[in-house]
């Protein structure tokens, strides 16, 4: 079995309009959300073995919050091509993954579209289609190697957004 965790970065700040979109940081709510999602991942034993993260500052700061909360020693792969990547690129990256549980930390609309493409049936949860900041989907696959991945083959294990955690 293989598992992918698809997470959109937490809420970013718009306080400094001189920053490029790529360089925007998290706001206070975003930092709190990263901790909440990290706790939820640990509580549910959804702990990644491999992390692939966009180089956007808001993604790297979300990772820092997750890493600290979860006590992880994993060194992520920071990949600029994930900045606003489409599902086809995310799929390419996932089929090359080497771990059993892979966390992608990236952006919408690519991450939500990718989640929809992977799931074998349409989820009823409307928030999965909106994919608000820090939304996290856990999808399981009955495959031995990521190279065997096919679209519409994943089973939705869990979906969460920060406001449901408190």
The top-level CATH class assigned to 2-12+22-165 is: alpha beta
Mean pLDDT of 124-141: 95
What is the average pLDDT across 116-135?
94
Mean pLDDT to the nearest integer, 69-87: 95
Q: What is the pLDDT of residue 166?
A: 81
Residue 17 confidence (pLDDT): 84
What pLDDT is stored for residue 50 in this prediction? 98
Q: Quote the tokens at residue 40.
A: 């939820």
Q: pTM above the 0.95 mark?
A: yes
Question: For residue 110, is pLDDT > 90?
Answer: yes
The tens digit of pLDDT for each residue in 3-54 reads 999 999 999 999 888 899 999 999 999 999 999 999 999 999 999 999 999 9
Q: Are strands 136-141 and 155-160 parallel, antiparallel or unpaired?
A: antiparallel
Does the pLDDT of residue 64 top 90, yes or no?
yes
- Domain residue spans in the chain? 2-12+22-165
Q: What is the rounded distance in angstroms from the CA atom of residue 43 to the CA atom of residue 28?
A: 23
Q: Look at residue 90 and tell me whether its pLDDT is greater than 90.
A: yes
Output the average pLDDT for the chain.
96
């Amino acid at each position: 079995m293989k598992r992918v965790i698809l997470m959109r970065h937490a809420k970013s700040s718009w306080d400094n309009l001189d920053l490029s979109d790529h360089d925007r940081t998290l706001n206070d709510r975003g930092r709190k959300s990263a901790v909440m999602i990290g706790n939820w991942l640990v509580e549910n034993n959804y702990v990644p073995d491999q992390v692939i993260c966009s180089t956007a500052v808001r993604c790297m700061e979300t990772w820092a919050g997750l890493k600290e909360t979860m006590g992880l020693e994993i060194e992520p792969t920071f990949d600029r091509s994930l900045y606003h990547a489409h599902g086809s690129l995310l799929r390419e990256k996932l089929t090359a993954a080497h771990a059993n549980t892979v966390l992608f930390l990236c952006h919408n609309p690519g991450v939500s579209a990718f989640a929809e493409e992977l799931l074998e049936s349409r989820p009823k949860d409307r928030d999965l289609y909106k994919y608000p900041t820090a939304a996290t989907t856990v999808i399981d696959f009955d495959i031995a190697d990521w190279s065997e991945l096919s679209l519409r083959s994943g089973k939705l294990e869990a979906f969460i957004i920060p406001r449901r955690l408190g």
